[in-house]
Amino acid sequence: MSADEARRRIEALWRIEAPKLHAALARLTRDLGLAEELAQEALVTALERWPESGVPDNPGAWLMTTAKNRALDELRRSKLLRRKHEELGRDLDEAGVERAENQAERIERELDDDVGDDMLRLIFTACHPVLSPDARVALTLRMLGGLTTPEIARAFLVPEPTIAQRIVRAKKTLAEAQVAFEVPRGAERAKRLASVLEVVYLVFNEGYAATAGDDWMRPELCEDALRLGRVLAELAPEEPEVHGLLALMEIQASRARARTTPTGEPILLLDQDRSRWDRLLIRRGLASLERAEALGGARGPYALQAALAACHARARTPEETDWARIAGLYGALGEIMPSPIVDLNRAIALGMLFGPEAGLKIVDALADNPALAGYHLLPSVRADFLTKLGRLDEARAEWERAAGLTQNAREKALLLERARACAEK
């Protein structure tokens, strides 16, 4: 295996394994910054060794073992070991009842003891009220989603240095406040829930449509987000927005098999083979939506977005799509969470309902919004309307502009293909 091939495989594995490493190491060390450092050290070791020795049969276990060993070495060298002894109620007396090595072995066994959900603990820890809402989301995406700073910056539509500062400050603040690594109870859990839901959905979105890289989707992130959403639904069964979020993710995830070709090229919603949609996930999503509505949460932001997804799920063909309802739902969503991205999606629905000229008029009104300055879907939507109107030269320029803004290789290729199609007509 060449060094470049090994590096690509390691980077792909890291996307999957990093959240598990961060969560397990955070439970052991009670320090998110240290947990990330230890995980990074394991990655560096893999980058040094695997190009020569080959990728292990179980690379996730190899990374976890390497990271745990480094964590134990750190514990032995620091006061964290004594703190851990106290937490476990096994302090050493003067006679040395047990050797430090035995204590370390017990700590290692505790790390392997899968009691509860480490990732859920990580989310609630990162969403502690001591942090600002923006910092909570950025930190959790970094630790749980394994996203890079540029990817998080694109998700927020803010500069990269801003995100980097948020993450550094957030880890420092949590360490100084000695925030417990736990899922809180009662009122404290309710206070953190909104931020937790936002984080889970952003992680799902990164899996559903990756902001960067060579793949259109990152299914492992969708799976992690869905699992966490289901755990949250059990933890907070009377919270309508928990069920609204779960409904939204399940309905969107139902399209996963139809969203790419066998070789990984994207297939857009209206071009998908709907027979490949997962009807079980759709049924589960619709049931979760009904639960959210029965709890009085029909107008919550996640329930509204789930209702939008349900419009597509219920339509057996693109022609059966209820675009009038979709436009109305986007209007309602814009009232409770105003956003130019919501307005852009509403423009798409109105364009489908009343024709591309009506949609283009709304899109053009959004063109000067600074929040959309680097958002590739703005020129992409505009290009689609221009193509339908037969204004092919303008459309080609917009497809190319959109391609220049996206960081996802698959999406870039799709947009450039649309541009070439305009030039050939």
DSSP states of 276-321 as a string? GS-HHHHHHHHHHHHHHHHTT-TTSHHHHHHHHHHHHHH-SSGGG-
Tell me which residue of 19, 405, 416 sits closest to 207, measured CA to CA.
19
Element spanning 407, H or E: strand 407-408
Q: Which long-range contacts (CB under 8 A, 24 or more apart) does 195-198 make?
A: 195/127, 195/133, 195/136, 195/137, 196/123, 196/124, 196/127, 196/232, 197/232, 197/241, 197/242, 197/245, 197/302, 198/133, 198/137
Q: Rounded to a whole number, what is the largest CA-CA distance in the chain?
A: 87
Q: Which CATH number fits domain 346-425: 3.30.390, 1.25.40, 1.10.287, 1.10.3470?
A: 1.25.40
Q: Helices 323-336 and 301-314: crossing angle, nearest 10°?
A: 170
CA 103 to chain centre: 37
Q: Are 113 and 119 in contact (CB under 8 A)?
A: no
Q: What is the pLDDT along the chain (425 residues), one digit of tens a residue?
A: 677 777 777 777 887 788 888 888 888 888 888 888 899 899 889 888 888 888 888 888 899 889 888 888 877 776 555 665 566 554 444 444 444 445 455 455 544 444 347 888 888 898 888 998 889 888 988 888 777 888 788 766 688 999 999 999 999 999 899 888 888 888 888 878 888 998 889 889 888 988 777 788 888 888 888 988 998 998 889 999 999 999 999 999 999 999 999 999 999 999 999 999 999 999 999 999 999 999 999 999 999 999 999 999 999 999 999 999 999 999 999 999 999 999 999 999 999 999 999 999 999 999 989 989 889 999 999 999 999 999 999 999 999 999 999 988 999 999 999 999 999 87
Tell me which residue of 59, 54, 55, 48 sits closest to 15, measured CA to CA.
59
Q: What is the pTM of this model?
A: 0.74
User: In the chain, what are the domain boundaries?
Assistant: 1-115, 346-425
